[in-house]
Structure formats: structure tokens, C-alpha cells
Amino acid sequence: MTSTSHVIPTLLPGQASPAAPQRLATLGVMGGGQLGRMFVHAAQQLGFRTAVLEPDATSPAGLVAHAHVVSDYLDAAGLDRLADEADAITTEFENVPAQALRQLALRRPVAPAGDVVAVCQDRAAEKAHFAASGVPCARNHLIETEADLAAVDAALLPGILKTARLGYDGKGQRRVSDRAELAAAWRELQGVPCLLEQMLPLAQELSVIVARSATGELVHLPVQQNLHRDGILAVTVVPAPDIDAATQAEAVAAAGRIAHELAYVGVLCIEFFVLADGRLVANEMAPRPHNSGHHSVDSCDISQFELQVRTLAGLPLAEPRLHSSAVMLNLLGDLWFDAAAGADAAERTPDWRPILALPGAHLHLYGKQSARRGRKMGHLTFTAASPQAARDVALQAAALLGIEPF
């Protein structure tokens, strides 16, 4: 499955642009959030010039890139300006319109391709792709009409109703226990196309991040064990302490099949569930670096963002090596408000001094101009020589910040 696109070039770090010899080879990214910011940093470390297209003039990635095209994602003039600036282009989040990526591919290499991103944007297409790749997932039913609603198999209840498009971090999801709740939830979601997924007895959550080149070369980060709260990733632990070696190997192999069947180029994350009976099922995928892979900047010799740069620039891939055990804590905007003050609390910056005094602490703030409850403002990674040592220090930090222990 491919979009119209130029062949991925080999762009050497520090070389002149093939399209514009008066400037350095330039890597472009659609989207200006924290993932784009970290991609820009990784590209710049390797000597590339960078360009970002993002409508927010103060976006985290736009503020650090060499060129910032302030434009809507579907604005033709903005897309042309990005194509003028960049020699190859990627995306930093899955909700960039696939059509914009297809339009860019008429002029520049784009990875991942628009048609591939479109699969990840549609939960029904995503589940179908898992099945085509031989990877099991939860039983599900697409609801687009009242007739679809009436035809739901009772065995799928209780379940989770999810909007087929544009859902992330727990948004657009409702837990339903019976037909009455299902019907009410679908109407609460404005009757948009939704997927009802059977609720499964979960034992663990994990993710696998792979990088695949245009020639089919595939590498992966260590398997990550995750904890979500309210649908948002809260904690990632590496090495995965409660996932046995056979399950980890199965997850890596499944992620590789999913990427291969998509003819994927770039960095791809697959989230999996381990069920109470030990079975592994795929949950969803993201066509980009992933929150659970942020630890790799501090714990691995090659980060997920450098892998994204290498796949886009046609550079060799090397298997990342984990040199330190790590625990990653997400920092949500709630930490910027005094919980005791209630809804009227004024924004204030957390005191990072006691956190930075802890051994192995790596603070990453995303440069966002204002905090909101539930907004990802940054993350903390704690590295140590052993998994227990990393966990112990991360728990100290959680207590200091008022984050629920894990």
C-alpha cells in the first residue's frame, strides 16, 4: 500500500540540498508539537536544516526549526512553501490530513506515505490491517447507522465505543455496559462513525516502536511496558518488568509484520494488550514516534527521533541498544496548578530543583506557552544501572510532584 511519492533520497548530514545547493539538506515535518520539536532537535544534531509547517506561530517545533511555515495543513500555498523548503517530509502526529501528505508527495519524498497514515486515522481500517497482518485484536463492530447499532452482537458488551477517526489520549471514547448505554453514547458522540470494541480482561499494556527503511530494513526499540490513566500514558518502564521474553518476542514479530504489510517507511508504534490468559492482542498504531519511546533519548544509543531522521534521509538503520534501565513519567498540565486551590487555581511553574537533585533525572519540557489540565507539558526520564534503582528514584519524584505512585 503506497501513496504517490518520490523515492526516499539519501541525504547526507551536512551536505547541500539536492534541490537548492545554496542551503543545507533540509528535513521537513508536518506538525509543530513536542514530537516535531524532538525530531527537529535530532535532525539538527545530525547537521540537517529543518522546516516545520504548523498553524500555531508559537508551536514548540516551529520555535526551534530553521524555517516555520505558519499555515493550515490543507492550505495549498503553505504546502508549496514547505515543499520549497524541504528535501523530504514526515509527520509528527497522525491527525495531519492524509490528503496534505499526498499533495506534498507530488513534489517531495514523504514518509510515511499519505495512504499509510490514512489507515492509522481510521480505526476500522486499522483493525482490518491488523487482521491482514495475522495479528489478533479485540472483536469489534463498525457503527455508522441506526441499523448498524441495532445489529451489534450482544457478546461485544460490555465494550468501549470509540470514534472511528480523530481519537487519541482517551478522547472520543465511552465505556458501555449494555445496549441502552451504547445507544446513548453513540448519540452523545453526535452519531459519527464509531467502532465498538469488546472489553477485554487486561493484565499488562506494552508498546513496540519499529523503524523501517524504504529498502525494508527493520529495527526496533526495546519493548516498553506502559501504564495509562484516564486514557493518557502516565508511566513507561524499560526493560518491561512484567512481560516475559516470549511475549516480547511475539510483540516485536507482530509489529514487524504490521509494518511490512503496510510497506511502511518511518517510525511506527504499535500498542498491545497482554490479556489475563496471556494472549497478546494489538490495540492501535501510531504512524510516528510515540510518547512511550521518549525514554530512548536518555536510555538508548539511538533515539526514536534519530531513527525517524534516518528513515526520512535514507540513512542506514542500526539496532538501538539500551544502555540504562529507565522509567518515564508524563508531566501533564495539572502539575502547573495547585490541586488544593480547585478550579480557580492560578498557573505556576513546578519547583524542579528537588527533582533535578535526584540521580539519573532527565527533565524534558516542551516549550508550550501555557498549561492546561491534561495537556502534555513535558516528561521526566530516570535512568539507572538497574530497573529497581530507576523505579525507586522515579517514585521519589512522583511523591515530590504529587503524581500518583505506580
Query: For the residues of 115-149, what is the DSSP string, one character each?
Result: HHHHHHT-HHHHHHHHHHTT--B--EEEE-SHHHH
On whether 376 is known to bind a ligand per the annotation, the reply is no
| Residue-level pLDDT at 15 | 95
Contact 242, 227 (CB under 8 A): no
Q: How many whole angstroms separate alpha carbon 255 and alpha carbon 227?
A: 20
On whether 388 is known to bind a ligand per the annotation, the reply is no
| Start-to-end Cα distance in the chain | 41
On whether 173 is known to bind a ligand per the annotation, the reply is yes
Strand ranges, E, within 316-375:
325-332, 361-365
Residues 6+ apart with CB under 8 A from 319: 219, 220
On whether 250 is known to bind a ligand per the annotation, the reply is no
pTM over 0.85: yes
| Residue-level pLDDT at 280 | 98
On whether 283 is known to bind a ligand per the annotation, the reply is yes
On whether 364 is known to bind a ligand per the annotation, the reply is no
What the chain holds in terms of domains, given with CATH numbers, is 26-120 (3.40.50.20), 139-198 (3.30.1490.20), 202-401 (3.30.470.20)
On whether 171 is known to bind a ligand per the annotation, the reply is yes
On whether 227 is known to bind a ligand per the annotation, the reply is no
On whether 308 is known to bind a ligand per the annotation, the reply is no
On whether 217 is known to bind a ligand per the annotation, the reply is no
On whether 280 is known to bind a ligand per the annotation, the reply is no
| Residue-level pLDDT at 6 | 62
Kindly tell me the burial class for residue 341, based on how many C-beta atoms sit within 10 Å of its own C-beta (0-12, 13-18, 19 or more).
Answer: exposed
On whether 264 is known to bind a ligand per the annotation, the reply is no
Residue by residue, pLDDT tens for the chain (406 residues) are: 444 456 788 999 999 999 999 999 999 999 999 999 999 999 999 999 999 999 999 999 999 999 999 999 999 999 999 999 999 999 999 899 999 999 999 999 999 999 999 999 999 999 999 999 999 999 999 999 999 999 999 999 999 999 998 766 657 889 999 999 999 999 999 999 999 999 999 999 999 999 999 999 999 999 999 999 998 999 999 999 999 999 999 999 999 999 999 999 999 999 999 999 999 999 999 999 999 999 999 999 999 999 999 999 999 999 999 999 999 999 999 999 987 777 778 999 999 999 999 999 999 999 999 999 999 999 999 999 999 999 999 999 999 999 999 9
| Residue-level pLDDT at 239 | 98
On whether 402 is known to bind a ligand per the annotation, the reply is no
On whether 197 is known to bind a ligand per the annotation, the reply is yes
On whether 23 is known to bind a ligand per the annotation, the reply is no
Q: In the chain, how long is the greatest CA-to-CA distance?
A: 64
Preceding amide of 55 cis, omega within 30: no
- Choose among 7, 31, 144, 172: nearest CA to 97: 31
On whether 198 is known to bind a ligand per the annotation, the reply is yes
On whether 172 is known to bind a ligand per the annotation, the reply is yes
